[in-house]
Chains A and B, each alone.
Chain A
Amino acid sequence: MHCEYRQKIALFADGELASAEQQAVSSHLGSCPECSAALLELLEMKKSVRLAGNRFSAPLELRRAVQDKLRVRKTPVAFWQWGLAAACCLLVATLGFMAYSREQRQDTVIASLVDQHVIALASDHPVDVISSDSHNVKPWFQGKLPFTFNLPELGNSPFSLIGGKTVYQRQEPGAELLYGIRKHRISVFIFRGQAGSTKVVQDRGSSFTVEHWTEGGLRFYLVTDATGEDADQLASMLKEANRL
Protein backbone atom coordinates (compact mmCIF):
# COMPACT_ATOMS: atom_id res chain seq x y z
CA MET A 1 0.00 0.00 0.00
CA HIS A 2 1.34 3.40 -1.01
CA CYS A 3 1.96 6.24 1.33
CA GLU A 4 -0.90 8.77 1.41
CA TYR A 5 1.47 11.50 0.13
CA ARG A 6 2.35 9.59 -3.04
CA GLN A 7 -0.50 11.26 -4.94
CA LYS A 8 1.07 14.62 -4.28
CA ILE A 9 4.63 13.88 -5.36
CA ALA A 10 4.12 14.86 -9.01
CA LEU A 11 2.27 18.02 -7.98
CA PHE A 12 5.13 18.79 -5.59
CA ALA A 13 7.75 18.22 -8.30
CA ASP A 14 5.82 20.42 -10.71
CA GLY A 15 5.38 23.20 -8.16
CA GLU A 16 1.61 22.96 -8.37
CA LEU A 17 0.81 22.71 -4.68
CA ALA A 18 -0.32 25.60 -2.51
CA SER A 19 2.46 26.80 -0.26
CA ALA A 20 1.03 25.13 2.89
CA GLU A 21 0.75 21.77 1.10
CA GLN A 22 4.18 22.22 -0.45
CA GLN A 23 5.52 22.72 3.06
CA ALA A 24 3.71 19.65 4.38
CA VAL A 25 5.05 17.39 1.61
CA SER A 26 8.51 18.82 2.08
CA SER A 27 8.41 17.91 5.80
CA HIS A 28 7.08 14.46 4.99
CA LEU A 29 9.87 13.69 2.53
CA GLY A 30 12.46 13.66 5.29
CA SER A 31 10.78 10.72 6.98
CA CYS A 32 9.47 8.75 3.97
CA PRO A 33 12.04 6.89 1.83
CA GLU A 34 9.29 5.75 -0.57
CA CYS A 35 8.14 9.31 -1.41
CA SER A 36 11.66 10.75 -1.51
CA ALA A 37 12.79 7.98 -3.94
CA ALA A 38 9.74 8.64 -6.12
CA LEU A 39 10.45 12.36 -6.09
CA LEU A 40 14.12 11.93 -6.96
CA GLU A 41 13.26 9.68 -9.86
CA LEU A 42 10.61 12.07 -11.15
CA LEU A 43 12.96 15.04 -10.92
CA GLU A 44 15.65 13.04 -12.72
CA MET A 45 13.20 12.17 -15.48
CA LYS A 46 11.96 15.74 -15.82
CA LYS A 47 15.55 16.88 -16.21
CA SER A 48 16.30 14.20 -18.83
CA VAL A 49 13.15 15.02 -20.78
CA ARG A 50 13.92 18.74 -20.69
CA LEU A 51 17.45 18.19 -21.95
CA ALA A 52 16.47 15.70 -24.62
CA GLY A 53 13.30 17.52 -25.65
CA ASN A 54 15.00 20.84 -26.27
CA ARG A 55 16.33 19.48 -29.49
CA PHE A 56 15.51 21.85 -32.30
CA SER A 57 16.29 25.51 -32.71
CA ALA A 58 14.91 27.69 -35.45
CA PRO A 59 17.20 27.84 -38.50
CA LEU A 60 18.43 31.24 -39.64
CA GLU A 61 16.26 31.19 -42.78
CA LEU A 62 13.15 30.69 -40.68
CA ARG A 63 14.13 33.55 -38.38
CA ARG A 64 14.62 35.82 -41.40
CA ALA A 65 11.38 34.70 -43.01
CA VAL A 66 9.44 35.41 -39.81
CA GLN A 67 11.06 38.80 -39.37
CA ASP A 68 10.17 39.66 -42.97
CA LYS A 69 6.57 38.77 -42.31
CA LEU A 70 6.52 41.00 -39.24
CA ARG A 71 7.86 43.98 -41.12
CA VAL A 72 5.17 46.59 -41.69
CA ARG A 73 4.26 46.93 -45.31
CA LYS A 74 4.24 50.63 -45.86
CA THR A 75 1.43 51.84 -48.11
CA PRO A 76 2.61 53.98 -51.04
CA VAL A 77 2.48 57.67 -50.32
CA ALA A 78 -0.13 59.41 -52.43
CA PHE A 79 0.72 62.51 -54.47
CA TRP A 80 -1.46 64.72 -52.29
CA GLN A 81 0.43 63.48 -49.21
CA TRP A 82 3.74 64.58 -50.75
CA GLY A 83 2.12 67.94 -51.53
CA LEU A 84 0.87 68.28 -47.99
CA ALA A 85 4.30 67.38 -46.61
CA ALA A 86 5.94 69.99 -48.85
CA ALA A 87 3.40 72.63 -47.80
CA CYS A 88 4.04 71.82 -44.13
CA CYS A 89 7.80 72.15 -44.67
CA LEU A 90 7.28 75.51 -46.39
CA LEU A 91 5.02 76.72 -43.59
CA VAL A 92 7.52 75.67 -40.92
CA ALA A 93 10.35 77.35 -42.81
CA THR A 94 8.33 80.55 -43.25
CA LEU A 95 7.32 80.66 -39.60
CA GLY A 96 10.89 79.96 -38.59
CA PHE A 97 12.15 82.74 -40.84
CA MET A 98 9.50 85.12 -39.50
CA ALA A 99 10.41 84.27 -35.92
CA TYR A 100 14.08 84.71 -36.73
CA SER A 101 13.43 88.02 -38.49
CA ARG A 102 11.31 89.26 -35.62
CA GLU A 103 14.04 88.31 -33.18
CA GLN A 104 16.64 90.04 -35.33
CA ARG A 105 14.47 93.15 -35.59
CA GLN A 106 13.90 93.09 -31.84
CA ASP A 107 17.65 92.83 -31.24
CA THR A 108 18.21 95.84 -33.50
CA VAL A 109 15.54 97.90 -31.71
CA ILE A 110 16.97 97.02 -28.30
CA ALA A 111 20.51 97.86 -29.42
CA SER A 112 19.43 101.28 -30.68
CA LEU A 113 17.45 101.98 -27.48
CA VAL A 114 20.44 101.04 -25.33
CA ASP A 115 22.45 103.53 -27.42
CA GLN A 116 19.72 106.09 -26.81
CA HIS A 117 19.97 105.47 -23.06
CA VAL A 118 23.77 105.86 -23.15
CA ILE A 119 23.38 109.13 -25.05
CA ALA A 120 20.96 110.34 -22.38
CA LEU A 121 23.47 109.44 -19.65
CA ALA A 122 26.27 111.33 -21.42
CA SER A 123 24.20 114.32 -22.42
CA ASP A 124 24.06 117.63 -20.55
CA HIS A 125 20.41 117.82 -21.60
CA PRO A 126 19.13 114.30 -21.40
CA VAL A 127 15.46 115.32 -21.41
CA ASP A 128 13.36 118.04 -23.06
CA VAL A 129 10.89 118.35 -20.25
CA ILE A 130 12.39 118.48 -16.82
CA SER A 131 10.00 117.64 -14.04
CA SER A 132 9.69 115.21 -11.20
CA ASP A 133 5.92 115.50 -11.39
CA SER A 134 4.27 113.03 -13.71
CA HIS A 135 1.30 115.36 -14.02
CA ASN A 136 3.58 117.82 -15.78
CA VAL A 137 5.51 115.36 -17.89
CA LYS A 138 2.57 113.40 -19.29
CA PRO A 139 0.71 116.46 -20.70
CA TRP A 140 3.94 117.62 -22.34
CA PHE A 141 3.66 114.70 -24.80
CA GLN A 142 0.12 115.64 -25.89
CA GLY A 143 0.12 116.55 -29.58
CA LYS A 144 3.62 115.16 -29.99
CA LEU A 145 2.64 111.48 -29.94
CA PRO A 146 -0.23 109.64 -31.66
CA PHE A 147 -1.00 107.75 -28.44
CA THR A 148 -1.27 108.36 -24.75
CA PHE A 149 0.05 106.55 -21.71
CA ASN A 150 -0.10 106.69 -17.95
CA LEU A 151 2.76 107.25 -15.56
CA PRO A 152 2.78 105.57 -12.16
CA GLU A 153 2.52 107.48 -8.94
CA LEU A 154 5.97 107.09 -7.46
CA GLY A 155 4.87 107.89 -3.90
CA ASN A 156 7.19 106.25 -1.43
CA SER A 157 9.06 104.26 -4.07
CA PRO A 158 12.82 104.74 -4.45
CA PHE A 159 12.32 106.06 -7.97
CA SER A 160 12.27 109.67 -9.04
CA LEU A 161 11.11 111.08 -12.35
CA ILE A 162 13.70 113.26 -14.06
CA GLY A 163 11.78 114.15 -17.21
CA GLY A 164 11.11 113.05 -20.75
CA LYS A 165 11.55 113.66 -24.43
CA THR A 166 10.32 112.36 -27.76
CA VAL A 167 12.39 109.77 -29.60
CA TYR A 168 12.07 108.02 -32.94
CA GLN A 169 12.41 104.40 -33.72
CA ARG A 170 12.10 103.42 -37.39
CA GLN A 171 10.45 106.73 -38.10
CA GLU A 172 7.92 106.07 -35.40
CA PRO A 173 7.58 108.61 -32.60
CA GLY A 174 7.74 107.47 -28.99
CA ALA A 175 8.37 108.73 -25.48
CA GLU A 176 11.52 108.39 -23.47
CA LEU A 177 11.11 108.88 -19.76
CA LEU A 178 14.10 109.17 -17.54
CA TYR A 179 13.94 107.96 -13.97
CA GLY A 180 16.56 108.03 -11.27
CA ILE A 181 17.21 105.54 -8.51
CA ARG A 182 20.10 106.25 -6.18
CA LYS A 183 22.92 107.19 -8.60
CA HIS A 184 21.52 105.20 -11.52
CA ARG A 185 19.33 106.18 -14.40
CA ILE A 186 16.52 104.22 -15.98
CA SER A 187 15.23 104.99 -19.47
CA VAL A 188 11.70 103.90 -20.27
CA PHE A 189 10.75 104.00 -23.97
CA ILE A 190 7.10 103.81 -24.96
CA PHE A 191 5.85 103.16 -28.51
CA ARG A 192 2.56 102.31 -30.02
CA GLY A 193 2.10 98.55 -30.12
CA GLN A 194 -0.43 95.78 -30.34
CA ALA A 195 -3.40 95.28 -28.08
CA GLY A 196 -3.12 92.82 -25.22
CA SER A 197 -0.19 92.17 -23.02
CA THR A 198 2.90 90.01 -23.07
CA LYS A 199 5.15 89.01 -20.26
CA VAL A 200 8.38 90.78 -19.61
CA VAL A 201 11.34 89.74 -21.72
CA GLN A 202 14.56 90.36 -19.89
CA ASP A 203 18.03 90.69 -21.27
CA ARG A 204 20.70 90.91 -18.64
CA GLY A 205 23.46 89.53 -20.75
CA SER A 206 25.13 92.88 -21.35
CA SER A 207 26.13 95.56 -18.87
CA PHE A 208 22.60 96.97 -19.13
CA THR A 209 19.38 95.42 -18.01
CA VAL A 210 16.74 95.56 -20.71
CA GLU A 211 13.13 94.62 -20.17
CA HIS A 212 10.48 94.63 -22.84
CA TRP A 213 6.77 94.09 -22.61
CA THR A 214 3.51 95.24 -24.11
CA GLU A 215 0.62 96.51 -22.08
CA GLY A 216 -2.53 98.40 -22.99
CA GLY A 217 -1.62 98.50 -26.68
CA LEU A 218 1.77 100.03 -25.97
CA ARG A 219 5.29 98.66 -26.30
CA PHE A 220 7.56 99.39 -23.36
CA TYR A 221 11.33 99.10 -23.25
CA LEU A 222 13.21 99.68 -20.02
CA VAL A 223 16.98 100.13 -20.13
CA THR A 224 19.16 100.66 -17.08
CA ASP A 225 22.45 99.97 -15.40
CA ALA A 226 20.61 99.67 -12.06
CA THR A 227 19.92 96.26 -10.57
CA GLY A 228 17.49 93.80 -12.08
CA GLU A 229 15.27 94.07 -8.99
CA ASP A 230 15.00 97.85 -9.49
CA ALA A 231 14.12 97.29 -13.14
CA ASP A 232 11.48 94.71 -12.19
CA GLN A 233 9.91 97.01 -9.64
CA LEU A 234 9.58 99.99 -11.98
CA ALA A 235 8.39 97.73 -14.81
CA SER A 236 5.58 96.35 -12.67
CA MET A 237 4.56 99.86 -11.62
CA LEU A 238 4.40 100.93 -15.27
CA LYS A 239 2.44 97.85 -16.22
CA GLU A 240 -0.01 98.44 -13.43
CA ALA A 241 -0.51 102.06 -14.46
CA ASN A 242 -1.20 101.18 -18.08
CA ARG A 243 -3.34 98.10 -17.56
CA LEU A 244 -6.66 98.64 -19.34
Chain B
Amino acid sequence: MDERFNKEFEQLALPLLDPLYNFACWLSGDPDEANDLVQETFVKALRAFPSFRIGTNFRAWMYRILRNTFLTSRTGLERRNTSQQDEEGYDDAVVSHDTPELALMRQADTELVRAAIAQLSPVFQEVLLLADIEEMKYQEVADTLAIPIGTVMSRLARARKQIREHIVNGLGKK
Protein backbone atom coordinates (compact mmCIF):
# COMPACT_ATOMS: atom_id res chain seq x y z
CA MET B 1 0.00 0.00 0.00
CA ASP B 2 1.44 3.35 -0.92
CA GLU B 3 2.10 6.29 1.36
CA ARG B 4 -0.85 8.29 0.03
CA PHE B 5 -3.28 5.55 1.13
CA ASN B 6 -1.68 5.39 4.55
CA LYS B 7 -1.86 9.15 4.95
CA GLU B 8 -5.50 9.26 3.94
CA PHE B 9 -6.35 6.39 6.26
CA GLU B 10 -4.45 8.01 9.13
CA GLN B 11 -6.33 11.29 8.70
CA LEU B 12 -9.68 9.52 8.81
CA ALA B 13 -8.94 6.89 11.43
CA LEU B 14 -6.78 8.51 14.10
CA PRO B 15 -9.51 10.91 15.33
CA LEU B 16 -11.59 7.78 16.06
CA LEU B 17 -8.97 6.24 18.33
CA ASP B 18 -10.44 7.48 21.62
CA PRO B 19 -14.09 6.72 20.85
CA LEU B 20 -13.18 3.31 19.44
CA TYR B 21 -11.19 2.50 22.56
CA ASN B 22 -14.08 3.68 24.72
CA PHE B 23 -16.48 1.48 22.77
CA ALA B 24 -14.05 -1.46 22.99
CA CYS B 25 -13.75 -1.02 26.77
CA TRP B 26 -17.51 -1.09 27.19
CA LEU B 27 -17.90 -4.10 24.92
CA SER B 28 -15.13 -6.19 26.44
CA GLY B 29 -15.14 -4.82 29.97
CA ASP B 30 -11.37 -5.11 30.03
CA PRO B 31 -8.85 -2.35 29.13
CA ASP B 32 -6.17 -4.84 27.96
CA GLU B 33 -8.58 -6.62 25.71
CA ALA B 34 -9.84 -3.28 24.43
CA ASN B 35 -6.26 -2.34 23.64
CA ASP B 36 -5.80 -5.48 21.54
CA LEU B 37 -9.18 -5.00 19.89
CA VAL B 38 -8.38 -1.48 18.80
CA GLN B 39 -4.97 -2.41 17.42
CA GLU B 40 -6.44 -5.31 15.52
CA THR B 41 -9.19 -3.06 14.20
CA PHE B 42 -6.69 -0.54 12.85
CA VAL B 43 -4.59 -3.26 11.20
CA LYS B 44 -7.63 -4.87 9.58
CA ALA B 45 -9.06 -1.53 8.49
CA LEU B 46 -5.75 -0.37 7.01
CA ARG B 47 -5.46 -3.61 5.07
CA ALA B 48 -9.03 -3.34 3.82
CA PHE B 49 -8.88 0.42 3.19
CA PRO B 50 -8.26 0.12 -0.58
CA SER B 51 -11.66 -1.57 -0.85
CA PHE B 52 -13.37 1.11 1.28
CA ARG B 53 -15.56 3.27 -0.89
CA ILE B 54 -14.81 6.94 -0.25
CA GLY B 55 -18.07 8.76 0.38
CA THR B 56 -19.59 5.96 2.43
CA ASN B 57 -19.61 6.15 6.22
CA PHE B 58 -16.04 5.63 7.42
CA ARG B 59 -16.94 5.86 11.11
CA ALA B 60 -19.64 3.20 10.78
CA TRP B 61 -17.14 1.07 8.83
CA MET B 62 -14.51 1.31 11.59
CA TYR B 63 -17.01 0.53 14.34
CA ARG B 64 -18.29 -2.42 12.36
CA ILE B 65 -14.76 -3.83 12.06
CA LEU B 66 -14.19 -3.33 15.78
CA ARG B 67 -17.49 -4.97 16.71
CA ASN B 68 -16.94 -7.93 14.38
CA THR B 69 -13.45 -8.36 15.81
CA PHE B 70 -14.93 -8.36 19.29
CA LEU B 71 -17.71 -10.76 18.42
CA THR B 72 -15.22 -13.30 17.12
CA SER B 73 -13.03 -12.98 20.21
CA ARG B 74 -13.43 -15.36 23.14
CA THR B 75 -15.09 -12.72 25.32
CA GLY B 76 -17.32 -11.71 22.48
CA LEU B 77 -18.46 -15.26 21.86
CA GLU B 78 -19.15 -15.77 25.56
CA ARG B 79 -21.14 -12.57 25.83
CA ARG B 80 -23.07 -13.33 22.70
CA ASN B 81 -24.12 -16.69 24.06
CA THR B 82 -25.36 -15.27 27.35
CA SER B 83 -27.05 -12.17 25.99
CA GLN B 84 -30.79 -12.01 25.87
CA GLN B 85 -32.37 -10.49 22.84
CA ASP B 86 -35.43 -8.67 24.01
CA GLU B 87 -36.98 -7.25 20.88
CA GLU B 88 -40.22 -5.98 22.33
CA GLY B 89 -41.71 -2.75 21.08
CA TYR B 90 -40.61 0.54 22.49
CA ASP B 91 -43.93 2.27 22.88
CA ASP B 92 -43.90 1.86 26.65
CA ALA B 93 -40.29 2.92 26.99
CA VAL B 94 -40.98 6.49 27.95
CA VAL B 95 -42.21 7.50 31.36
CA SER B 96 -45.58 8.90 32.18
CA HIS B 97 -45.52 12.61 32.81
CA ASP B 98 -46.58 12.62 36.44
CA THR B 99 -43.69 10.59 37.87
CA PRO B 100 -40.94 12.16 39.95
CA GLU B 101 -38.42 10.35 37.72
CA LEU B 102 -37.25 13.52 36.06
CA ALA B 103 -36.06 14.79 39.41
CA LEU B 104 -34.46 11.41 40.12
CA MET B 105 -32.72 11.39 36.76
CA ARG B 106 -31.14 14.71 37.64
CA GLN B 107 -29.83 13.23 40.88
CA ALA B 108 -28.23 10.25 39.17
CA ASP B 109 -24.51 10.35 39.61
CA THR B 110 -22.01 9.17 37.05
CA GLU B 111 -21.22 5.91 38.83
CA LEU B 112 -24.86 4.93 38.97
CA VAL B 113 -25.33 5.63 35.27
CA ARG B 114 -22.16 3.70 34.46
CA ALA B 115 -23.45 0.77 36.43
CA ALA B 116 -26.74 1.06 34.56
CA ILE B 117 -24.93 0.95 31.20
CA ALA B 118 -22.75 -1.94 32.32
CA GLN B 119 -25.70 -4.10 33.33
CA LEU B 120 -27.30 -3.87 29.89
CA SER B 121 -27.09 -6.93 27.72
CA PRO B 122 -24.67 -6.47 24.80
CA VAL B 123 -27.29 -5.96 22.10
CA PHE B 124 -28.85 -3.08 24.02
CA GLN B 125 -25.61 -1.71 25.31
CA GLU B 126 -23.99 -1.35 21.87
CA VAL B 127 -27.01 0.45 20.44
CA LEU B 128 -27.08 2.81 23.41
CA LEU B 129 -23.33 3.46 23.18
CA LEU B 130 -23.48 4.25 19.49
CA ALA B 131 -26.64 6.37 19.65
CA ASP B 132 -26.20 8.26 22.90
CA ILE B 133 -22.43 8.34 23.41
CA GLU B 134 -21.17 8.41 19.85
CA GLU B 135 -24.28 10.36 18.87
CA MET B 136 -24.78 8.39 15.69
CA LYS B 137 -27.98 8.71 13.71
CA TYR B 138 -30.23 5.64 13.64
CA GLN B 139 -29.15 4.83 10.10
CA GLU B 140 -25.49 5.00 11.05
CA VAL B 141 -26.11 2.66 13.98
CA ALA B 142 -28.00 0.34 11.66
CA ASP B 143 -25.09 0.38 9.20
CA THR B 144 -22.57 -0.28 11.95
CA LEU B 145 -24.46 -3.19 13.47
CA ALA B 146 -25.86 -4.47 10.18
CA ILE B 147 -29.41 -4.53 11.54
CA PRO B 148 -32.63 -2.87 10.32
CA ILE B 149 -33.32 0.67 11.47
CA GLY B 150 -36.52 -0.52 13.22
CA THR B 151 -34.41 -2.87 15.34
CA VAL B 152 -32.16 0.02 16.26
CA MET B 153 -35.16 2.00 17.45
CA SER B 154 -36.67 -0.82 19.49
CA ARG B 155 -33.34 -1.80 21.08
CA LEU B 156 -32.57 1.80 21.91
CA ALA B 157 -35.96 2.23 23.58
CA ARG B 158 -35.48 -0.95 25.59
CA ALA B 159 -31.99 0.08 26.60
CA ARG B 160 -33.19 3.46 27.80
CA LYS B 161 -36.04 1.87 29.70
CA GLN B 162 -33.60 -0.43 31.50
CA ILE B 163 -31.26 2.46 32.26
CA ARG B 164 -34.11 4.44 33.75
CA GLU B 165 -35.27 1.52 35.84
CA HIS B 166 -31.76 0.91 37.12
CA ILE B 167 -31.36 4.54 38.09
CA VAL B 168 -34.75 4.76 39.76
CA ASN B 169 -34.11 1.57 41.70
CA GLY B 170 -30.63 2.67 42.65
CA LEU B 171 -31.82 6.03 43.93
CA GLY B 172 -34.78 4.42 45.67
CA LYS B 173 -32.42 2.27 47.73
CA LYS B 174 -30.49 5.28 49.02
Report yes or no: B94 in contact with A42, Cβ–Cβ below 8 A. Answer: yes
Known: A66-B17, A72-B3. A48 touches B102 (CB 8 A): no
Binary CB contact string for chain B from 98 to 138 against chain A (1 if under 8 A, 0 otherwise)? 10011001101011011001000000000011011101011
- In this complex, which of A33, A34, A53 has the most chain B Cβ atoms within 10 angstroms of its Cβ? A53
Q: Which residues of B contact A157 (CB under 8 A)?
A: none
Q: Which residues of B contact A7 (CB under 8 A)?
A: 91
Range of interface residues on A (Cβ < 8 Å): 35 or more
Q: Which residues of B contact A14 (CB under 8 A)?
A: 131, 137-138
Report yes or no: B10 in contact with A45, Cβ–Cβ below 8 A. Answer: no
CB interface residues, A 55-71, toward B, < 8 Å: 55-59, 61-63, 65-67, 69-71
Q: Which residues of B contact A53 (CB under 8 A)?
A: 22, 26, 113-114, 117, 128-129, 132-133
Q: Is B145 an interface residue (CB 8 A)?
A: no
Complexed CA–CA distance, A55 and B135 (Å) = 15
Report yes or no: A40 in contact with B35, Cβ–Cβ below 8 A. Answer: no
Complexed CA–CA distance, A49 and B164 (Å) = 10
Complexed CA–CA distance, A10 and B163 (Å) = 15
Report yes or no: B17 in contact with A41, Cβ–Cβ below 8 A. Answer: no
Report yes or no: A41 in contact with B129, Cβ–Cβ below 8 A. Answer: no
Task: Give, as a whole number of angstroms, the nearest-CB distance from B141 to chain A.
Answer: 10
CB interface residues, A 75-115, toward B, < 8 Å: none
Complexed CA–CA distance, A11 and B153 (Å) = 9
Complexed CA–CA distance, A45 and B105 (Å) = 6
Report yes or no: A69 in contact with B42, Cβ–Cβ below 8 A. Answer: yes
Q: Is A201 an interface residue (CB 8 A)?
A: no
Report yes or no: B42 in contact with A70, Cβ–Cβ below 8 A. Answer: yes
Q: Which residues of B contact A49 (CB under 8 A)?
A: 113, 117, 128, 132-133, 163
Q: Is B39 an interface residue (CB 8 A)?
A: yes
Which A residues are closer than 8 A to B by beta carbons?
2, 6-7, 9-11, 14-16, 33-38, 40-42, 44-46, 48-59, 61-63, 65-67, 69-72
Q: A41-B94, A53-B128, A69-B39 are in contact. List 4 more A-B contacts (CB 8 A).
A: A34-B98, A48-B167, A57-B21, A70-B13
